[in-house]
Structure 1
Amino acid sequence: MKKKNNFGFTLAEVLITLGIIGVVAAITIPALISACNKNIVETRLNQTNAIILQAFRRYQADNGDSSMSLDSYDDGDVNGYSWQRSKDFFDEYFGKSFNTTHTYPKGTRFPIYSANGTKYFGNSLGTYAVYNMLNNGTVIGVAKNGNYDGTRIQVILNPQKKKLRVGRDVFELQYMSDGVSGYYAYNPQLRAHYTEDNRKSYIDACKSNVAYPLYAMSSAEFCGFLILQNNFKVPKDYPVKL
């Protein structure tokens, strides 16, 4: 009688194989998720910056104005900010250029936390920002200051989350006029202070559990600056896990 060949796997072999697959998955899946999140951050920030600069330049081309300022008026400003001024600025400079899908009501606040998610920050732009959702799902908050020629932009990548983390879900950029060619996307104060020698202080500020850790600037501004400074690429020493 001919003996049948048995090519089946034993239970031990199956368990070993599954164990190996599990180990490989445990190593590779988090890396893939992190790479995907990194790409989303870089792409969305770059897209948002391009949309904002395009809106500024379009307005300048149509009106011949590079100051991007509003007439001064007293409307209950808080440190030079007010919701009405921000709305007037948005309508004037961005209204025709932005493709928005939703406008948030006055007083909207988002649940913003520190980079590690342990400290509740509230909203660094308070209630004086005007929030709109772009057609790519990104929410931008525009806050116009009346005391100087600056515009703060809060970029929220995952507005649906119940806990938005600085440096991962929330960033801030500031745009100011150079008086010649228009606006550029960085906070001049952060750029003026920045050197390779004090880079660590910027990294620490980005991941800080203090809402305004340095130079009276928010941690979201430092995170945004680190990426912008690297040509909208997440640097190797970026302190926030993506």
Structure 2
Amino acid sequence: MQGLHYLKGLKGFTLAEVLITLGVIGVVAAMTMPSLISNHKKSETSARLKKFVSSVNQALIFAEQENGMREDWEIGEMNSQESSYNFLAKYIKPYVKSYDIEKTNFQGKIGAKLTFLDGSQMFIKIGNCYDIYYDINGDKLPNTVGRDIFAFILCRKKDCRLSTNQVTGFWCSATEDRPRDKARQYELCKSNGNSCTMILEDNQWEIPDDYPIRL
């Protein structure tokens, strides 16, 4: 009975108190939600980039086992949809999970694209090296290089003074060494989204907190 008297003595929240509490919760949510969304985008982007780089470089290793060293592969005709298509069909598609290859152009570049099972896409254009653009969400917006599209390059070691025959951040060292200075990399990323993958590569494909482009 004593406990019952105690409960009767308790007062519930007034409507004003409830509204104030809900208001505080709303303000906190409004303050934290953008940060949560941004962190989610960064995590998702990093995960897709890591998967892409790993999958394509692994495909190149398998392709070398069946077709000889990539140093000896025929590059094909430059700026050709047909040559780009053939490269993807022979050296990439057999070793990754994907849909069809399509001859297409991207931002004025002539080439072909391959769509992965997760909806992301890989576009390749053959020049002195292979220009590669990876779109983490396919045809969805914003379709902006440095935000949801990321540029890579694939060069033969002898062409670009590289120590690897695999996909790297977008910079061909044929005439100039790759910038390692952080300030210079950020400057290049702001002026040309192609250069942003240098930042990401040096950060193990994680999106840094001070990444210069808003995702």
TM-score, structure 2 as length reference: 0.82
Alpha-carbon distance in 2 for matches of 1:53, 1:33: 30
How much does 1:173 deviate? 0.7
2:202 is the counterpart of 1:229 = yes
SS in 2 for 1:9: coil
Q: Count residues with an aligned counterpart.
A: 204
Alpha-carbon distance in 2 for matches of 1:201, 1:133: 33
Residue by residue over 1:209-237, the C-alpha shift from the partner in whole angstroms, topping out at 9 and shown as x without a partner, is: xxxxxxxxxx2321112101211112233
* 1:1-242 equivalent positions in 2, closer than 5 A: 5=9, 7-67=11-71, 69-70=73-74, 73=77, 80-104=78-102, 106-107=103-104, 109=106, 123=107, 126-145=108-127, 148=128, 150-178=129-157, 182-186=165-169, 187-189=171-173, 192-196=177-181, 199-208=182-191, 219-242=192-215
Is 175-184 or 160-169 further displaced after alignment? 175-184
Identity of aligned residues (%): 28
Q: Which residue of 2 aligns with 1:116?
A: none
RMSD of equivalent CA atoms: 2.6
Higher helix residue share: 2
Alpha-carbon distance in 1 for matches of 2:44, 2:25: 28
Q: Are the counterparts in 2 of residues 100 and 134 from structure 1 also a CA contact under 8 Å?
A: yes
- Mind listing any 5+ residue stretches in structure 2 that lack a counterpart? none
Residue by residue over 1:95-125, the C-alpha shift from the partner in whole angstroms, topping out at 9 and shown as x without a partner, is: 3112112444x3355xxxxxxxxxxxxx2xx
Residue by residue over 1:180-217, the C-alpha shift from the partner in whole angstroms, topping out at 9 and shown as x without a partner, is: 86325233439814132xx3343133233xxxxxxxxx
Alpha-carbon distance in 2 for matches of 1:16, 1:81: 64
Counterpart amino acid of 1:98? V
Counterpart amino acid of 1:90? L
Q: Are the counterparts in 2 of residues 68 and 177 from structure 1 also a CA contact under 8 Å?
A: no
Say which one has the larger Rg: 2
Alpha-carbon distance in 1 for matches of 2:39, 2:138: 20
- Mind listing any 5+ residue stretches in structure 1 that lack a counterpart? 74-79, 110-122, 209-218
TM-score, structure 1 as length reference: 0.74
SS in 1 for 2:13: coil
SS in 1 for 2:71: coil
Counterpart amino acid of 2:200? I
